[in-house]
Amino acid sequence: MLLGMSSYPYASRYPVVRTLPEHGRDREEILAELREMATAEDSFWQTGKASGSFYCGDMEHYAFMSEAFGLYGHMNALQRDVCPSATRFEGEIIAMGLDLFHSSEATATGGDPVGMITSGGSGSILHAVMSYREHAAKTRGIRQPNFVKPETGHPAFDKACHLLGIELRVAPIDPLSATVDVDAVAALIDENTIAILGSASNYGYGTIDDIAALGQLAIARGVGLHVDGCLGGFILPFGEQLGHPIPPFDFRVPGVTTISADTHKYGYGLKGTSLLLFRDRALRNSQYFFQTGWTGGKYCSPGIDGSRSSGLLAATWAGMVATGRQGYLNYAREIFATSYAMQAAVRSHPELRLIGRPSYLYAFTSDEFDIYHVNDALRARGWRMNGLQYPNAIHMAVTRPQTQAGVVEAWTTDLAAAVEHAIANRDTAPKSSAIYGGVAGGWTEEADDFISAVMADMMDAHQALPPQ
């Protein structure tokens, strides 16, 4: 059963808090309520039928990191004089990331590689784009900046450019490889371009852009190159080590100037941390903020956030050093093997078509029927896939829960039944594509406005209280 589909999922089971309670509730009663909800929600993804989201799935590892968090959760990473442990945790997490992404290659070519820790993938992307904007303004005098991304680039880049007043230019992808058209990127670069983007890998298809070609382009045109490894950063290096066809995408590639990689995804940390790494210190330091004339004292900030809990730093550090290179390698071996076995099941159906050259994450569509019929049938069998559009497709980001015994077999059986369902219902509209069905005749500004309004209503509802 999929949980959380209601805007008010627990209103019928627990009292709804509408005002600050006059008197505090019993702590054990509160914890019992929390345990009950958590157990119900964990029971779904623990089946291995949920794409992505729960990258680790090891409850003992979660408990270990939660204990580390508990020791430092009340501490403020902003106050390093009182809580110097935050400096150790943050510095060593960055050092491990720099080592993983071959920062020695950057040092050997005159770079001064550094990093920072942010609140997640969107945070790393926002800070990267902000660094490029500020550095370009200081060193190149750019006042009307633009940034070039592939159409498969994460929407967090759209949001960052929107928030920072940067023109976003979008390059198409090659439909066969599902990677960015490098020539199209080149055509979009001009004297106001601050940086370009390559994904390793992109969220939708799990394909890796030609980072080497983008790096050469960045060097030739004098712009930065950000590699978005938020999703794949902590699994692709180990896939490469295992001999899978993973091309270099890190600081070994000339022209790569920043890399983002989420420690809370395949780094197996708790949600809320991500690494942003820089080939050179000057780029990172460009986005430091200073206010020396404030009555409250001289203020400085390395990023947008001020106060941060040291608990997440401690938990991330503990999770990484407890896993180690060999642990990451072993988990990657299982994930890649599982993904390829699940892809083989997709290939066994001529009605289905894998997109590009997937690895740990694969996406597929159909030229015979609307793929959302397959999605409907899989949902009925307990699977939670991620839906894509333009074209309609679905993807599975394989994580550790999928590697448990019996999941591949269940996938093979359920996918076959889902294809049969799709064939039998090809002349009807699938249930899970209703919002896309509203624009079946093609994109229009009016349709886009309609969908945005529907999505706004959904977000409103998730923050609303049930009626009295």
DSSP assignment of 349-379 equals -TTEEE-SS-SSEEEEEESSS-THHHHHHHH
Residue at 346 is within a domain? yes
Task: Compute the radius of gyration of the chain from its Cα atoms.
Answer: 23
Whether 254 and 374 map to the same domain: the answer is no
Whether 258 and 124 map to the same domain: the answer is yes
Residue at 3 is within a domain? no
Residue at 422 is within a domain? yes
3-state secondary structure of 176: coil
What pLDDT was estimated at residue 296?
A: 95
3-state secondary structure of 249: coil
Residue at 20 is within a domain? no
CATH of the domain at 410: 3.90.1150.10
Whether 392 and 248 map to the same domain: the answer is no
Whether 296 and 403 map to the same domain: the answer is no
What CA–CA distance (Å, rounded) separates 375 from 393?
9
Rounded (to 5) percent helix, strand, coil in the chain: 45, 15, 40
Burial of 18 (0-12, 13-18, 19+ CB in 10 A): exposed
Residue at 285 is within a domain? yes
Whether 295 and 376 map to the same domain: the answer is no
Which of 317, 350, 375 is the last residue in one of the domains? 317
What pLDDT was estimated at residue 443?
A: 40
Largest CA distance in the chain: 71
Tell me the sheet residues that pair with 226.
Answer: 197, 258
What pLDDT was estimated at residue 16?
A: 87
Whether 404 and 299 map to the same domain: the answer is no
Domain limits at 226? 85-317
Residue at 42 is within a domain? no
Whether 233 and 357 map to the same domain: the answer is no
Taking phi over 0 as left and psi of -120 to 50 as alpha, with beta for the rest, 443 belongs to beta
What pLDDT was estimated at residue 457?
A: 57
Whether 90 and 217 map to the same domain: the answer is yes
Whether 311 and 331 map to the same domain: the answer is no
Residue at 167 is within a domain? yes
CATH of the domain at 232: 3.40.640.10
Task: Return the ∠ at Cα 340 (arms to 339 and 344), rounded to 5°.
Answer: 120
Q: Which ranges of 207-363 would DSSP assign to H, the alpha helix? A: 211-221, 236-241, 281-285, 310-347
3-state secondary structure of 117: strand
pTM of the model: 0.92
What CA–CA distance (Å, rounded) separates 206 from 395?
9
What CA–CA distance (Å, rounded) separates 402 from 254?
36
Whether 219 and 123 map to the same domain: the answer is yes
Cα atoms in the 13 Å half-sphere on the side-chain side of 63? 3
pLDDT tens per residue across all 468 residues of the chain: 444 456 678 988 998 888 999 999 999 999 999 999 999 999 999 999 999 999 999 999 999 999 999 999 999 998 889 999 999 999 999 999 999 999 999 999 999 999 999 999 999 999 999 999 999 999 999 999 999 999 999 999 999 999 999 999 999 999 999 999 999 999 999 999 999 999 999 999 999 999 999 999 999 999 999 999 999 999 999 999 999 999 999 999 999 999 999 999 999 999 999 999 999 999 999 999 999 999 999 999 889 999 999 999 999 999 999 999 999 999 999 999 999 999 999 999 999 999 999 999 999 999 999 999 999 999 999 999 999 999 999 999 999 999 999 999 999 999 999 999 999 999 999 998 533 233 333 344 544 554 555 555 554 545 555 555
What CA–CA distance (Å, rounded) separates 389 from 411?
22
Whether 345 and 391 map to the same domain: the answer is yes
Whether 307 and 341 map to the same domain: the answer is no
Which of 299, 317, 335 is the last residue in one of the domains? 317
Residue at 297 is within a domain? yes
What pLDDT was estimated at residue 432?
A: 85
What pLDDT was estimated at residue 435?
A: 38
CB 189 within 8 A of CB 223: yes
Which of 281, 298, 317 is the last residue in one of the domains? 317
- In the chain, the number of structural domains is 2
What CA–CA distance (Å, rounded) separates 341 from 258?
33
